[in-house]
Chains A and B, each alone.
Chain A
Amino acid sequence: MTHLHATRLGALSTLATAALMTAISGAQAQSLPPLPDSIKSAGLLKAGVRCDQPPYGYKDETGKFAGVETDMAIQIATWAFGSADKIELTCVTAENRIPQLNGKKVDLLIATLGVTPERARVVDFSKPYRWGGSDMLVAKDSPIKKLDDVAGKTVIMLKGSTQAKWFEDTMPKVESLRLNTASDALQSLKQGRGDAYTHDAATLIVIAAKDPSLRLVGESFAVSDAAVGVRKNEAAWLAYVDAALDRMKAEGLYAKWVDKWVPADIRPFYTDAFTKPKPTAR
């Protein structure tokens, strides 16, 4: 009996909190433009997020969606439909995210989507919500201290990556070893098949923090913006998303989420990426 009481009491208090939350968000939602009917009619937000890119979008040990970008999606659902449950999260990959969006499987992408002219031809971008740069990982005792030091050396990179394009356009004299996966690249670096491994800084920081035999070079290059992707010609929805992003910034939510998802020792990089202006780099 006591047990039942406790449960009922718990349910009641949850209900009360929910009612209060709805009242509050209802009041604040006035700062957002009206939700377009095309989205409203679905009754929930269909969002595409990454599930292998910690701390942005990934699945935790229990298989639940986690990460800063996942929280952003949940926040938009909360503002749009009044409940954090009114969301359908879909795991998207680098290759399939744009087809998933344009095939209407999802209504927006918060999925480490970098702003590029090629992509801008097929989707619309929101305002950028963070930036992301590239860096290089080298052996701890490597003579490479800055970007220019890799001239004439072999750099490991992934086929089709931002970095592969950047090196080809900017430093074509650099010898490249192009592999298919991040684990192949890391393995090859550790076996000395290349002098450095270049990738998104956000990815490399996590590796460097775990592996004391490696070190980040620490010079940013190929810095680009990440933004929310929506389908072309959905101006009202894009305006809503832009307003929601502004509100996240104004309410200081990004810093809160970074604190929640990123271990303290590597946190400053991610906090800067969401809250500081994009650094000037090559």
Chain B
Amino acid sequence: MEFDLAYLANQWPALMRGLWLTIQVSALSIVMSVTVGLCGAAIRVLQVPVVDKIVVGYVEFIRNTPLLAQLFFIFYGLPGLGLKLSLFWSGVLSLTLWAGAYQIENIRGGLETVGKGLREAAFSLGLSPWRFFRLIAAPMAVRVGLPSMLNTSISLLKNSSYLQAIGLAELTFVAIDRISMDFRTVEMFAAICVIYLALVLTLSFFASRLEYRLNTPFRT
């Protein structure tokens, strides 16, 4: 079977609709998971009683269970407990919870590099723990943690393809759905791999720009 470019051209609008949904879900989840990461890491580092144990439990739970099982639990399990989220928000929630756990660890790793001395200096200057975190620790931690945060965000973007399993019409869904009708396997999977690659490279480009900017004070 030869590679049919005309077929791909025909399916292009459908693929673009899928791509748009992939971008929406991923962008929203990346922003939300970084927020979760910042909050969780702050709770861990500031050793907020009880809550920090919950954060530890959450991170362990997410990192040691399959994403697909978490997704099915959110989509099919939660309605049984009275919480029915739409397809879109089920997807965003599962990706956010998944990536959030990793972002907590990424940012916490960055926070470890903020020395004890700096912390004591901040406190002796009268900064509250929260202001210390916001003004000193977080910016430094994000700079150090950025490569691993980018890694997690790239994984999140790729893992958004799992959402096809609950019927969210993102990029992979479109490909699998068309293949099951037209049997054009090679064309479709080749096309979405190229699209994902372009998407990840774009994300990496912007992250390296951000890294460059955050490093401004350290450049000579």
Contacts and interface: CB of A to CB of B under 8 A. Distances in A.
A pairs with B: yes
Interface of A: 118, 159-160, 164-165, 168, 177-180, 184, 187-188, 191-193
A164 B167 CA distance: 13
Contacts of A193: 84, 87
Interface of B: 76, 79, 84, 87, 165-167, 169, 173, 176-177, 179-181, 183
Given A191-B84, A192-B84, A178 B177 contact: yes
Nearest to A157: B167
B181 A191 contact: no
Contacts, number: 33
Nearest to B179: A160
A191 B76 contact: yes
A122 to B, nearest CB: 11
B167 A177 contact: yes
A159 B84 contact: no
Nearest to B84: A191
B162 to A, nearest CB: 12
A187 B177 contact: no
A266 B79 CA distance: 32
Contacts of A180: 165
B167 A179 contact: yes
Given A164-B180, A178-B169, 16 more contacts: A118-B183, A159-B176, A159-B177, A160-B177, A160-B179, A160-B180, A168-B181, A178-B167, A178-B177, A179-B167, A180-B165, A188-B167, A191-B84, A192-B84, A193-B84, A193-B87
B167 A160 contact: no
Contacts of B165: 180
A5 to B, nearest CB: 61
6 nearest CB pairs, A to B: A160-B180, A191-B79, A159-B180, A177-B167, A179-B167, A159-B177
Contacts of A178: 167, 169, 173, 177
Contacts of A168: 181
Contacts of A184: 76, 167
25 contacts: A118-B183, A159-B176, A160-B177, A160-B179, A160-B180, A160-B181, A164-B177, A164-B180, A164-B181, A165-B181, A177-B87, A177-B167, A178-B167, A178-B169, A178-B173, A178-B177, A180-B165, A184-B76, A187-B76, A188-B76, A191-B76, A191-B79, A191-B84, A193-B84, A193-B87
A179 B176 CA distance: 11
Contacts of B179: 160
A265 to B, nearest CB: 30
A170 to B, nearest CB: 14
Contacts of A179: 166-167
Contacts of B84: 191-193
Contacts of A160: 177, 179-181
Contacts of B169: 178
A107 to B, nearest CB: 24
A75 to B, nearest CB: 33
Nearest to A95: B180
Nearest to A181: B165
Contacts of A165: 181
A214 to B, nearest CB: 17
A192 to B, nearest CB: 7
Nearest to B168: A177
A60 B180 CA distance: 29
Most central of B84, B87, B173, B180 by chain A CB within 10 Å: B180
A193 to B, nearest CB: 8
Contacts of A177: 87, 167
